[in-house]
Amino acid sequence: LHADDAAVTRAALAELLREPGGQRELRVRARQAGGGWRTLHVIAENLAGDPAVGAVVVNARDVTHQVAIEA
């Protein structure tokens, strides 16, 4: 993660862990293999209390091009 996004991401995930069934959406930057940055739309859901899942599920979608168009 980009250094500017790390603290906010940590705080959101820590808060989410205290909220069974909760969900958080974030927009973060992540380094790509070539050294540049991609913007990701992340949705995390606390399903730790669901016996079929037992975890926090995180889905991320690359929205770099969308962000560039919006700018």
Give residue 71's pLDDT. Answer: 79
The model's pTM is 0.86
Residue 16: how many CB atoms within 10 A of its CB? 19
Q: Which tokens sit at 37?
A: 């940055």
pLDDT in tens, the chain (71 residues): 999 999 999 999 999 999 999 999 999 999 999 889 999 999 999 999 999 999 999 999 999 999 999 97
